Structure 1
């Protein structure tokens, strides 16, 4: 005959609003300004290139009918070259900007994870759940403010 033993393990669970913490850190950190400064010269260059494309296009529209076929063809080719150059640089700019934003976001998320792990160990939490994954958690289980204080 076998005997079943009920083992009750009481888990100490906490909840943290990771998205709220990340949002507050991004809003108050110098990261946004740093990224803006990092990409400022490239953005200015793109604006200048776009102005050249616009001027060339406007010239083609206004002066094109009075030009010789050779002149118009040359201007069309030059306008297309400028447009292609602008498009390539704009795509590279956007990709680099997204990559850098992701790098900075990952740094913030790593800081948050580290703070959550430390608080969980210090306070004996077995499980810490993101509040976005819960239907309900009492306010006493929410450690968001504690994590925020630790990462600021």
Structure 2
């Protein structure tokens, strides 16, 4: 957050008074702004990668529980087919077992 606000401050100084600044000062601020922008992009990439790793780890831990919950809902409901939500364009609410699977997973805690 401080990196973002610092870059914003430099940008504001360049926009508001850049034309009145001496050439070396303006170039120094432009260089500093570019460096902060690179740092911000790097930190953003690092955070996104860390989030992706955490998401994969969470899914890895939840997968056996999810599979068990789906299997139990299938058996209890006597379903012949169950599709992932992303593979279905539209479904009538009475055929959507998502809520049942979630409730079963919550009971398994």
Shorter-chain TM range is: 0.5 to 0.7
Cα root mean square deviation, aligned: 3.3
> For this pair of structures, how many residues does the alignment match?
96
Q: CA deviation at 1:116?
A: 5.6
CA distance in 1, matches of 2:102, 2:20: 69
Counterpart position of 2:82: 130
User: What is the rounded CA distance, in whole Å, between the counterparts of 2:102 and 2:41 in structure 1?
Assistant: 44
State yes or no: 1:151 paired with 2:108.
yes
Structure 1: 4+ residue segments shifted above 6 A: none
1:1-152 matched pairs, under 5 angstroms: 47-114=1-68, 130-132=82-84, 144=101, 147-148=104-105, 151-152=108-109
Deviation sequence 1:30-54 (CA, Å, 0-9, x none): xxxxxxxxxxxxxxxxx22111111
Specify the SS of the correspondent of 2:19. helix
- Aligned equivalents of 2:16 and 2:70: distance in 1? 63
Deviation at 1:112, TM superposition (A): 2.1
Higher relative contact order (CA 8 A, sep 6+): 1
- For 1:144 and 1:55, the matched residues in 2 are separated by 50
Unaligned runs of 5+ in 2: none
Deviation at 1:109, TM superposition (A): 1.5
- Superposed CA offset, 1:64-100 (max 9, x none): 1111111111111011101111111111111211221
